[in-house]
Structure formats: C-alpha cells, structure tokens
Structure 1
C-alpha cells in the first residue's frame, strides 16, 4: 500500500475507536498521531531501502512486528505519562494497522498474502530492484494512475480506493476536521492577540 492509503485506513480505524470507546470525535493531536503513525513504517523503511540501500527492500525494521509492538507500547506509556493517553492509543492503532494492511493489500492485488512482510529480521522480503529513489517511485506511481484517471480507465481496486477516500473525507468533516480545526483556532487566537484592544 502507498502511504496515503495507510493514512486513510489509520484515520478511519482511530475515528471508529473514538466514537465506539470514547463516545466523541478525535482531537487534532489524536488524528495527527494516528495518521503519522500509519505512514511511519514507510517513512522508515522505504527511504532507507530505496535511497540509501540500508535494507534489501522497503519492508524491514519499520514493518517488523518485533519493532512495531515495543514502539507502540513505549509511545502509549509515554503518552499516558504526560496525560495524553488517547494520543498514544491513536499512535498504536495507526502503526499496528499498517503491517496487516500491507499483507491484505498483497492478497487483494495478487491473490497471495505475504505475512513475512511483518517478520523482519527472521524473514526478509526480496522485491524488485528499485534503481530509482523514493521520489522517483512516487512520481512513477502518480503518472501511471494520473493517466488512468484522466482516461477514465480505473481498475476496481482504484474505484474502491476512491470510494473509501471519499467516505473517510466525509467522516473527517463529520468529526469536525481535526488538525485543521485546531490550526484555525490557533491562528484566530494569534490574530486576535495582535489586534489592538483584544486580550
């Protein structure tokens, strides 16, 4: 899966957790934590593999269950210690969903699951030689789907992606547009503080 696909899944999952468990919408910090954590395995592994050759593939340390679980527990404990427990839960939900999402994506695209994606260093994954860097890979993907989109030749998988993205965008608006909401409040307070006669 590509990072934006993980972000969609991470936000959707944490928003559902918020509504079902906390009976409220996510805060900006929680939404940010869920989305950031949902793309963090790719931010760790893809550049280290594709740009710097540290790993053989883009599925290594960041995608390993042996790294993901301790990291999520540590972040959760730290968040609880500073009084931001739900943000730690959001991080854990986002990060820990990334790993099985990649396995499921392989099954949906190729009809075969690859659980070894989550088992580095016990299992390693070999993938195509990415003679190009991370940015080049992104533009290659973007150009391919941009062409398909403009030609109106989208696969069922792409239609499902667009549908899910639309649902999550509506959910985000229903939740009060977290992160954007806090940013607007912060900017408004800053502007008011600068205006004469405002406190």
Structure 2
C-alpha cells in the first residue's frame, strides 16, 4: 500500500475510534496517527533498501512481535512516567498499516505473502521489485487497488475537514509563511 492509502485508513479508523469514545479527534492525536501510519515503512524500507541491514522493506517493524513489544514498552513508559500520550492514536496508525499491507496478498489468495507479520519466525516472501525507492516508484501503475487508495484518501480528507482539520494549525505553524519569517524577522 502507498503512503496516502495508509494515512487514509489510519485517519478513518482514528476518527471512528474518537466517535466511539464520544470525543472529537485531537490535533496531537491526528498528527500521531499520521506518524503511526508511516512508521513501519519509515524504519524498514531505508534499513533494507538503502543500508541493507534488513532482508526486506517489510520485516522488523512490520512484524507483530515488534509491534507488540514497542506498543507495550510505550504504554509502560507512559504509565511509569505518568505521561498522557496519544498512544491509542499511534497504535491505530501502526496496526492499521500492518493490516492494510496484508489486504492485497489476501485478496490475491497469496496468504504466504503475509509471512512478514511473523518475521523473524517465518521467512520473508519473495518480492519482484528491486530493493530501492526509485524502483518502486518506477513500477507505479494506476491499478484498481491504487485507485482505491486515492479514493480512500479523498474520503479521509473529507472526514478530516468535517472533523475540524485537527492538527492542521499546529503543523502549519512549523513553517514560516512569509519571507520575513524565513529570515527570522517576526
């Protein structure tokens, strides 16, 4: 799945979770779910494709073992230091990423291609695309699955706007908007 598909599914799940808990999506939660939806690829793909430290772009952080250990450690750390962190939002983003990476193999009946979820216990599936970012973008095709991801991104964008665009102002303020602000004049 492409980054926008992961982001769309993660945000839609987060928005539904907030509605279930009768509270609006928060800015910090929206940003955190966005990070969670990209987290596995931000770790695995560079470590596999750029540095050759992992066997594939779906291994270490795409494993349910790593996900379980990391989420448990974050939960324990937050409880121990009495910090209220948006761990639920991160977990929704992270776990939705893992789930969505299994959709295409399952739809195609290639259940063995979901073995990355149990890495390192199970061996990795063979991938036909070379291990590089450029190779993946070069093989980009507007397949029905890719078009579905664009549609989901559109739906998620509408839901995010209806939710009040949580996180937009916080992220927007990270970048200067005028030439005076860029040179430090405020």
Query: 1:61-80 alignment to 2 at 5 Å?
Result: 61-80=60-79
* Structure with the greater alpha carbon radius of gyration: 1
* 2:101 match: secondary structure: helix
Asked if the contact 1:19/1:25 (under 8 Å) is kept, the reply is yes
Match of residue 181 from structure 1: 169
Match of residue 110 from structure 2: 112
CA RMSD between the two structures: 2.6
Asked if the contact 2:63/2:116 (under 8 Å) is kept, the reply is yes
Shift, 1:103, TM fit: 1.4
TM-score normalised to structure 1 length:
0.76
TM-score normalised to structure 2 length:
0.81
Q: Deviations over 1:153-190 (max 9, x none)?
A: xx432332222111100011011111113345788xxx
Inter-CA distance 132–104: structure 2 relative to 1 (3 Å threshold): closer
Asked if the contact 1:99/1:117 (under 8 Å) is kept, the reply is no
Inter-CA distance 184–128: structure 2 relative to 1 (3 Å threshold): closer
- Unpaired runs of 5+ in structure 2? none
For 1:82 and 1:174, how far apart are their aligned partners in 2?
A: 32
For 1:98 and 1:165, how far apart are their aligned partners in 2?
A: 14
Match of residue 151 from structure 1: none
* 1:117 match: secondary structure: helix
* 1:9 match: secondary structure: helix
Whichever structure has more helix as a proportion of its residues is 1
Match of residue 135 from structure 2: 137
Indicate yes or no: 2:144 matched with 1:156: yes
Q: Which has the higher contact order (CA 8 A, sep 6+)?
A: 2
